[in-house]
Amino acid sequence: MEARLSKVEEVLTRLADIQARQEDRLIKVEERLEEHDKKFNEIIAEIKDLRKVTNELTASMGTIGRRLGKDMEKMVLRFTEISLCN
């Protein structure tokens, strides 16, 4: 009977050790997940900033394009007026 109890105690001790190692592993995994979450959130913030910059650049390019178009139109009209006068 005592031999059986001793074996049961041995098994319980091993199980407790295994559980402790698994808990340590789980803590490490949770820490890594937190690090990944932080990095992920940083990347999302950077993507949002890049979207803002891209939208601003797109708007600026549109403005420049419209101005160039108007200036080009004025230049062509002047050339047409000059050529008609000659």
Map residue 1 onto helix, strand or coil: coil
Map residue 79 onto helix, strand or coil: helix
Please give the residue range of the domain that contains residue 46.
1-86
The mean pLDDT value of the chain amounts to: 91
In the predicted structure, residue 83 carries a pLDDT above the cut 90? no
Map residue 86 onto helix, strand or coil: coil
Question: Residue 25: which of 13, 33, 14, 36 has the closest Cα?
Answer: 33
Mean of the pLDDT values across residues 12-22? 97
pLDDT in tens, 19-60: 999 999 999 999 999 999 999 999 999 999 999 999 998 888
In the predicted structure, residue 86 carries a pLDDT above the cut 70? no
The count of domains in the chain is 1
Joined together, the tokens standing for residue 36 give 């990944």
CA quadruple 13, 17, 19, 21: dihedral, nearest 10: 180
